[in-house]
Amino acid sequence: MATPEMRTAEGWEMQFATNHLGHFALALGLHDALAAAGNARIVAVSSVGHINGDVDFDDLHFRRRPYDPWQAYSQSKTANILFAVAAAERWAADGITANALNPGRIAGTNLGRHMTAPPASFDPAGATGVSVKDIPQGAATSVLLAASPLVAGVTGRYFEDCQVAGPHRPGVRRGVAAYALDRERAGRLWDASTRALSEALPAAR
């Protein structure tokens, strides 16, 4: 989260590569096993930080625009949601569900080890709708989506606090941005991600 500018050997921006492309590649590689398992679930851990930035399809890897650690983080977290939306549509016939979630602000992890100070828009001290969770509380929504019969068959959604999130409202650090659930954008990201992996890993074509 909010790392200094770093790149993979392929030249990909590190947060986008780590938070999205790596997970995307893993899911593609596991697809046949997931389909064979029956009623498999994919759970993508996103963040409320997605509300601070859409995916910039013209410059995914900050090759032309100045690198901003928070914009890169936000883009990668939006990508997590768009991936779930696209996977839900593409793999429904295989019995695979895919959902994304916001675990919340969790104390006691080293996720923020690169942070100096978040931007004003993140309002760490008193943002409306934000509460600090311990690790079990932060894991609860992931566990719900991975294992609970309460969400069997639910797919292509974004959850927070163990429920489907409502639309994001300005000034409130909750909810899901409309662009993160946009099916056209989800498909566009899927195609761009597939192309990137194909170019980097020719044997995977």
Q: Which residues are catalytic?
A: 73
Q: CA nearest 167: which of 158, 180, 177?
A: 177
Query: Helices 183-200 & 22-37, crossing angle to 10 degrees?
Result: 100
Q: What are phi and psi of 95, to 5 degrees?
A: 75, 20
**CB-neighbour burial class of residue 152 (10 A; exposed 0-12, middle 13-18, buried 19+):** exposed
Q: What span, in angstroms and rounded, lies between the C-alpha atoms of 193 and 62?
A: 16
Q: CA nearest 87: which of 154, 18, 27?
A: 27
Residue type, 9: A
Torsion-angle region of 47 (φ positive above 0: left; ψ -120 to 50: alpha; else: beta): beta
- Chain centre distance of CA 175: 14
Q: What are phi and psi of 132, to 5 degrees?
A: -90, 135
Residue whose pair of structure tokens reads 């993979």 in the numeric block? 8
Asked if 8 and 14 count as a contact pair (C-beta separation under 8 A), the reply is yes
